[in-house]
Amino acid sequence: MRRGSKVADRRQGGSVLKGQNRIRLLGICFSTAFAVIALQVGQLTLRHHQAFANPEIAQHEPRQPRPDIVDRNGRILATDISVSSLFSDPRKVIDVDEAVELLTANLPDLDAKTLRQKMRQPGRAFVWLKRQVGPDERDAIYNLGIPGVGFVEERKRIYPQGRLAAHTVGYVDVDTKGIAGIEKYLDDQGAIYTASLSQPESNTSAPAQLSIDLGVEQVLTDEVSKAVEKFHALSGGGIIMDVETGEIIALASLPDYNPNTEDKRLTSDQQNKLTSGVYELGSVIKAVTFAMAFDYGTANFKSTYDTRQPLQIGKFRIHDFHAEHKVQSVEEVFTNSSNIGTAKMALQVGLDNHMEFLKRVGLLDRLITEVPESAKPLLPHNWSKLASATAAFGHGFAVQPLQGLSVIADLINGGMAVPPTFMKRSKEEAQALAHRIVKPETSEKMRYLFRRNVEIGTGGKADVLGYRVGGKTGTAEKVIHGHYSKDKSLASFIGAFPMDHPKYAILVMLDEPKAIPETHGFATAGWNAVPTASKIIERVAPLLGIEPKFSEDDLAKLAKQNKILKREG
């Protein structure tokens, strides 16, 4: 029995041992499994957590906002704001009368009758009640808790400066896509530039900075609009440009428009005439001819030109507006604005050289800037002796006014062609883009002529004591039905200041100015565009940081003025 039980015991003991082994095996399996899981969890949380964090953000990348547009000093020209629009779901409105009463109490400009009609359309699920509600009114309506009434957030592009610089900034359509001016540039060729402004980590965009200075822009717009009114001109325009960097500091084309209005069916008058229009600039182009003659060495300050007889080319005769009937020096040809003298200078240079020079300064090609509205120049069909002679004094070919100003700026800044820009640009960037078009000595001579023309010539009324203004006037007869009109003209002035070392170039243009009693019956540029430029320079020179300097003559003039003032009390 005992022995038998022992055997049984041993048999039992063996099975217990077997069971314990199984449990142990199972334990090992489980603990390995747990250890693997624990390790994996530890690794995922400690080591690879970044790998999981990044795709999370990439999954819902929000749309990059449209960059703001600011002026050179950071003042806002265009920005996006979020606006709420009020809508209603008529199916969910419980008490229409109560809802209408509450809404009209908070939004007085809503009409109760139409509102009731809109909200009593049981078949519809969505009706706009009011677009673009202000934030305070929105909060008030939220707090009313009217069922079936809600808001949708919308983006809206606004232009806080209104009409100022409207032609440069342009505008967007309802889907905030740029369709004019810099706004269009941001969407089109400037897309890379726009992308460079975006800052993905903060989901914002740096503003696009223009070269425009709002203070200067205001003065220019104000004075040009006063001049348009005073001289009963059809339209007017003005540009101020930095001659060293090519930056356009201000550009005003009148009549203008308010970019904030919904309805932008602009008349052709309201277009940016300074870049999208071409004009025969007339005598201001004479400066180009003079620079050409100096640069080719066919004329110098000792040269003289016989202007006693009209210049006969084939059937045509070239006359002088201010006929002097004498042999004039180069300086006199410029200050008296002699057509005959200038035409003779161009003919001396020769047809091919004249063409080559116009090409070199860029008057034969379309001027392209950031603002997309740009017009191609109108050139004579065949480049004959007559075409060359008339082109010498700015007739027979038409360019953008901005193009004319840019060329004159290049001729007096030392002879370097700098492409004009509406974007802020540093001196270094401008130097990298510049290339020489005329010799520095030629530029020096042009500066002298421009200053002289204001001191004694047709630009006399442009002078502002202390700011050394120089410039050239132009009164171009307009082409009406294929003929030059005798009484309709385009008056312009292109100048620069301070002339001893030009910093800024200015253009003032008036389309069909009329003679008024104050101008003694004259409607030439010297009587309208020039005094306007003078007023503009007087106001903008302090804004642009031009230090006044007075010559002996200036001081004498000042003393005389003071005496008159004292005598008058």
Partner 1 sequence: MFKVFNAILVCSVLAAAFVLYSLEHSTRGLERSIAKTEKQIINEQERIKLLNAEWASLTKPDRIQKIAGEQLHLQNLKAQQFIQLTDIDSRVPISPPIKLEAQAADAIGDMLEKLQ
Angle 401-412/286-296 helices, nearest 10 degrees? 40
Name the active-site residue from 283, 303, 443, 492: 283
Tell me the closest approach of the beta carbon of residue 553 to partner 1, in angstroms.
14
User: Which window, 111-119, 142-150, 153-161, 318-326, contacts partner 1 (CB under 8 A)?
Assistant: 153-161
Stretch that binds partner 1, among 161-169, 343-351, 365-373, 428-436 (CB under 8 A): 161-169
Chain residues 463-492 in contact with partner 1, contact rule CB under 8 A: 464-467
User: Which residue's CB is nearer to partner 1, number 175 or number 547?
Assistant: 547
Name which of 165 and 409 has its Cβ closer to partner 1.
165
Residues 6+ apart with CB under 8 A from 532: 223, 224, 226, 227, 238, 493, 508, 510
Q: Which stretch binds partner 1 (CB under 8 A): 73-81, 96-104, 139-147, 358-366?
A: 73-81
Tell me the CA end-to-end span of the chain in Å, nearest whole number.
Answer: 152
Query: Which residue number, 251 or 418, has a Cβ lying nearer to partner 1?
Result: 251
Residue 446: CB minimum distance to partner 1, A: 24
Q: Which of 455, 484, 489, 459 has the alpha carbon at shortest distance from 473? A: 459
Question: Is residue 59 near partner 1 by the rule CB under 8 A?
Answer: no
Q: Is 57 in the site for partner 1 (CB under 8 A)?
A: no
Nearest to 515 by CA among 492, 488, 484, 536: 488
Distances (CA, A) of 13 to 2, 20, 26: 16, 11, 20
Task: Give residues with Cβ within 8 angstroms of 468, minimum separation 6.
Answer: 451, 497, 498, 499, 500, 549
Report which of 241, 388, 367, 365 is spatially closest to residue 314, judged by C-alpha positions.
388
Closer residue to partner 1 (CB): 73 or 309: 73
User: By CB under 8 A, which span of 215-223, 337-345, 357-365, 521-529 interacts with partner 1?
Assistant: 215-223
User: In terms of Cα–Cα distance, which of 116, 61, 108, 62 is closest to 90?
Assistant: 116
The single residue among 214, 227, 405, 507 that binds partner 1, judged by CB under 8 A, is 214
Helices (H), 286-400: 286-296, 330-335, 339-349, 351-361, 385-392
Which one, 147 or 160, has the nearer CB to partner 1?
160
In the bound state with partner 1, the residue whose beta carbon lies nearer, of 213 and 332, is 213
Instruction: Provide the 8-state DSSP code for 436.
Output: E
What is the smallest separation between the CB atom of 163 and partner 1, expressed in angstroms? 8
Q: Which of 178, 181, 190, 215: binder of partner 1 (CB under 8 A)?
A: 215
CB 142 to partner 1: min, Å: 13
Helix ranges (DSSP H) in 107-213: 112-119, 135-144, 166-169, 181-187, 191-197
Q: Please report whether residue 161 would count as binding partner 1 according to CB under 8 A.
A: yes
Binding mask of the shown chain, residues 409 to 438, with x at each position contacting partner 1 by CB under 8 A: ------------------------------
268 is catalytic: no
Which x/- pattern over 284-313 shows residues binding partner 1 (rule: CB under 8 A)? Answer: ------------------------------
Query: Which residue stretch of 176-184, 212-220, 227-235, 251-259 sits at the interface with partner 1 (rule: CB under 8 A)?
Result: 212-220
Restricting to residues 75-104, name those near partner 1 by CB under 8 A. 75-77, 79-82
Smallest distance from partner 1 to CB 81, Å: 5
Report how far Cα 428 is from the mean position of its chain's Cα atoms. 21
Element (H, E) at 366: none
**Residue 383 CB coordination number (10 Å):** 15
Count the site residues for partner 1 by CB under 8 A. 32
Question: ∠514-515-520 over CA atoms, to 5°?
Answer: 170
Q: Provide the b/e sequence for 24-48 (b: ≥16 CB within 10 Å).
A: eeeeeeeeeeeeeeeeeeeeeeeee
SS3 state at 529: helix
From the list 158-166, 283-291, 346-354, 453-461, the region that binds partner 1 by CB under 8 A is 158-166
Q: Which of residues 497-556 bind partner 1 (CB under 8 A)?
A: 538-539, 541-542, 547-548, 550
Beta carbons of 190 and 276 less than 8 angstroms apart: no
Name residues contacting partner 1, limited to 131-150 (CB under 8 A).
Answer: 135
CA–CA dist 463, 304 (Å, integer): 27
The interface region with partner 1, picked from 162-170, 183-191, 251-259, 289-297 by CB under 8 A, is 162-170
Q: What share of the chain is helix, strand, coil (3-state, %, to 5)?
A: 45, 20, 35
Residue closer to partner 1 by CB (options 131, 163) is 163
Q: 62 or 108: whose CB is closer to partner 1?
A: 62
CA distance 186 to 163: 20
Pick the closest to residue 229 from 491, 528, 533, 475 (CA basis): 528
Nearer to partner 1, 156 or 424 (CB): 156
Asked if 236 contacts 224 with a C-beta cutoff of 8 angstroms, the reply is yes
Closer of 250 and 523 to partner 1 (Cβ): 250
Residues 218-277 interacting with partner 1 (rule: CB under 8 A): 218, 221-222
Give the C-alpha distances (Å, rounded to integers) separating 14 from 7, 19, 23, 76: 11, 9, 14, 92
Return the active site residues: 283
Binding site for partner 1 (CB under 8 A): 75-77, 79-82, 135, 158, 160-164, 214-215, 217-218, 221-222, 464-467, 538-539, 541-542, 547-548, 550, 558
